[in-house]
Every structure is written in C-alpha cells, then in structure tokens.
C-alpha cells in the first residue's frame, strides 16, 4: 500500500526525509512497532533482530546497558538492523546543554555514527537540538530528535504546561523528528496530538497487549488505543523481548498497530 494513502495528512504535512522514511518502512513491514531491545548481551540482541526483525519498523537501543559491548560487535549489530530494514533509535535521553550533548554523541559509543534517531529532554532549552544535529553533521550523517513531551512512568514531572512548551518549541524546529507521548493514557495522547498537529510524528512507549501496571512504576496501554488516539509508532519492550515466543508476539503487536492505523 502507498504510504500517502495509509498515512494521509501525516504524510502530506510532513516532508522531513527521516519521518517519511519511517512511514515507508512501516508500510513495507505493515507494522508501527518499534522494539525496545532492552537485553543486556550482544547475543540476546542479535537473537531479537533475527526472531522479530520482520515484524518491526524500528529498533530502539540503550547502548549503555549492554554488558559485553564492543565497537566491533555493535557495528555488526547495526549492520544486521539495516539489513532487516530497521531505523536505529538510541534512546539516550540527552538533557545537557547543546555543546556537551554534541560531544556526548561522540565518545566511546559514537552514537552519531550509527543512530538515525535519538531522544532528548528539552529541559536545558532548544539548543540541545542544534547540538545533536551538529553531531550528526560532524560525521556527514543525518538524524532526527524525538523530544520527550510526556512520559509513561507514574509520578513523572512532565506536566501539561511543560508538555505544551516542548511541543511549541519542537514543532518549529526542522531537527525535531517528533515527540515521545504517553502510550499508557489515550486521553493524554489525544491532547498531545491536538497540540502537535500533523506536521510531526508521535511515538509512544508504555504499550503492552496486557494493559495495566508494569515494573517499577511503568504503566501500559493497548497498542490499538494508542494508535487510534494519535500515536504513529508504539514502542514495545518487555511485551516482546520477555515473551515466551517473541516472534509470535511481535507479529501480534504489528497486526494490532497496523489494523488501528488502517482504521484511523
Ligand atoms: O516515558 C517513557 C519514555 C521511554 S523512551 N517511558 C518508557 O518506558 N520509555 C522507554 O520505552 C524505556 O526506556 C524502555 O526502553 C521502553 C519501554 O519498555 P517496556 O519493557 O516497558 O515496554
């Protein structure tokens, strides 16, 4: 199916190449799932790409939680992700001033060299987006920033007035790919979508087919409800990587998210 036909206004109002790349991958895979690949070993990570790669559109990493990380193994892992037609999203949640965030994109992990997307808090002001964009430019690459506008964890401090400011500043910036919204609360997502409009994407963690409370204050909503409320991508971690059959589960999340998009 053509991306424009499926995504409608979200496609026509968004000319950012990385956003369109995502919308096209989602159509090829018939999936709006970003896997939160929160496993601590390289073997566990490779296994995930192999078993669920066909059912997901993007791969979210926390590069600093891998016990046996090496640059060589990581570069092979990224190559495997690209081969599986996945966008690579490092969920680093940058929050420092622009110049330091730019340097943190280099360093041991060299995030600027392999990430297509990264997350950032706007708590330090909008220059963080320029710092992250400068880091990708430093190595001749392009990437997009997802700003945390809401969070899924209970008691978080991203209150509506803060969310509104993040959206107002982020909407106007071409380096911003989109926003992280709270997938566990469809009513909050509807408000976020109203504020964001169609020009930027909203990606949502806090999603599980088993709705309710998770570990340590995490909260979960259903993938269908998140997409119907305006999410463009459901970020799913333990619902897939801790399942007895991750392949089967990933396919179920893909179907729930894709069917909801087609209904929307
Ligand atoms: O508000 C948030 C933002 C993010 S990016 N809540 C989240 O849970 N996340 C991330 O999504 C978190 O870092 C983790 O990698 C993933 C959720 O994993 P799950 O196992 O709870 O599905």
201: left (phi over 0), alpha (psi -120 to 50) or beta: beta
Whether 69 shows a pLDDT value over 80: the answer reads: yes
Q: Look at residue 264 in the predicted model and tell me its pLDDT.
A: 92
Average confidence (pLDDT) over 5-31: 96
CB 37 near ligand 1, within 6 Å:
no
Burial class (CB in 10 A: 0-12, 13-18, 19+), 188: buried
Q: 168-195, pLDDT tens digit by residue?
A: 999 999 999 999 999 999 999 999 999 9
Q: Look at residue 80 in the predicted model and tell me its pLDDT.
A: 98
User: Which atom of ligand 1 is the closest one to the Cα of 218?
Assistant: 21
Task: Give which of 134, 184, 182, 186 is closest to 162, Cα–Cα.
Answer: 182
Q: Look at residue 204 in the predicted model and tell me its pLDDT.
A: 98
Whether 16 shows a pLDDT value over 90: the answer reads: yes
User: What amino acid positions are annotated as catalytic residues?
Assistant: 93
pLDDT band at 148; cut points 50, 70, 90: very high
Q: 125-134, pLDDT tens digit by residue?
A: 999 999 999 9
Distance 237 CA to ligand 1 centre (A): 7
At 40 the three-state DSSP class reads coil
Structural domains for the chain: 3-263 (3.20.20.70)
How far apart are the C-alpha atoms of 208 and 153, rounded to whole Å?
14
43 is written with which tokens?
């073997």
Whether 9 shows a pLDDT value over 90: the answer reads: yes
Nearest CA to ligand 1 atom 11: 205
Tell me, letter by letter, the H, E, C secondary structure of the chain: CCHHHHHCHHHHCCCCHHHHHHHHHHHHHCCCEEEECCCCCHHHHHHHHHHHHHHCCEEEECHHHCCCCCHHHHHHHHHHHHHCCCEEEEEEEECCCHHHHHHHCCCCCCHHHCCCEEEECCCCCCHHHHHHHHHHHHCCCCCEEEEECCCCCCCCCCCHHHHHHHHHHHHCCCCEEEEECCCCCHHHHHHHHHHHCCCCEEEECCECCCCEECHHHCEEECHHHHHHCCCCEEEECHHHHCCCCHHHHHHHHHHHHHHHHHHC
Q: 152-171, pLDDT tens digit by residue?
A: 999 999 999 999 999 999 99
Distance 35 CA to ligand 1 centre (A): 10
Distance 183 CA to ligand 1 centre (A): 10
Q: Look at residue 130 in the predicted model and tell me its pLDDT.
A: 98
CB 226 near ligand 1, within 6 Å:
no
Strand 87-94 relative to strand 219-220, pairing? unpaired
pLDDT band at 1; cut points 50, 70, 90: low
User: Which atom of ligand 1 is the closest one to the Cα of 62?
Assistant: 15
Q: 77-123, pLDDT tens digit by residue?
A: 999 999 999 999 999 999 999 999 999 999 999 999 999 999 999 99
pLDDT, averaged across the chain: 97
Whether 2 shows a pLDDT value over 90: the answer reads: no
């Amino acid at each position: 199916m053509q991306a424009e036909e499926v995504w409608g206004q979200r496609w026509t109002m968004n000319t950012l190449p990385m956003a369109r790349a995502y919308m096209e991958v989602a159509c090829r895979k018939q999936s709006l799932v970003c896997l939160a690949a929160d496993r601590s070993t390289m073997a566990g990570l490779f296994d995930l790409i192999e078993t669920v790669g066909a059912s997901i559109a993007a791969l979210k990493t926390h590069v600093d939680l891998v016990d046996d990380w090496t640059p060589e193994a990581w570069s092979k892992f990224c190559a495997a992700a690209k081969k599986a037609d996945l966008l690579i999203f490092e969920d680093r949640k940058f929050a420092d001033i622009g110049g330091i965030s730019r340097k943190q994109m280099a360093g041991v992990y060299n995030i600027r060299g392999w990430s297509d997307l990264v997350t950032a808090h706007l708590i330090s002001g909008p220059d963080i987006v320029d710092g992250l964009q400068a880091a990708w430019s430093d190595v001749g690459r392009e990437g997009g920033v997802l700003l945390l506008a809401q969070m899924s964890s209970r008691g978080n401090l991203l209150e509506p007035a803060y969310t509104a400011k993040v959206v107002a500043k982020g909407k106007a910036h071409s380096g911003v790919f989109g926003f992280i919204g709270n997938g566990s609360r469809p009513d909050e997502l509807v408000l976020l979508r109203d504020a964001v409009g169609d020009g930027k994407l909203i990606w949502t963690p806090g999603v599980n087919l088993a709705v309710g409370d998770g570990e340590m204050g995490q909260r979960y909503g259903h993938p269908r409800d998140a997409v119907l409320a305006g999410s463009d991508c459901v970020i799913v971690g333990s619902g897939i990587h801790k399942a007895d059959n991750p392949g089967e589960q990933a396919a179920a999340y893909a179907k729930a998210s894709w069917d909801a998009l087609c209904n929307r």
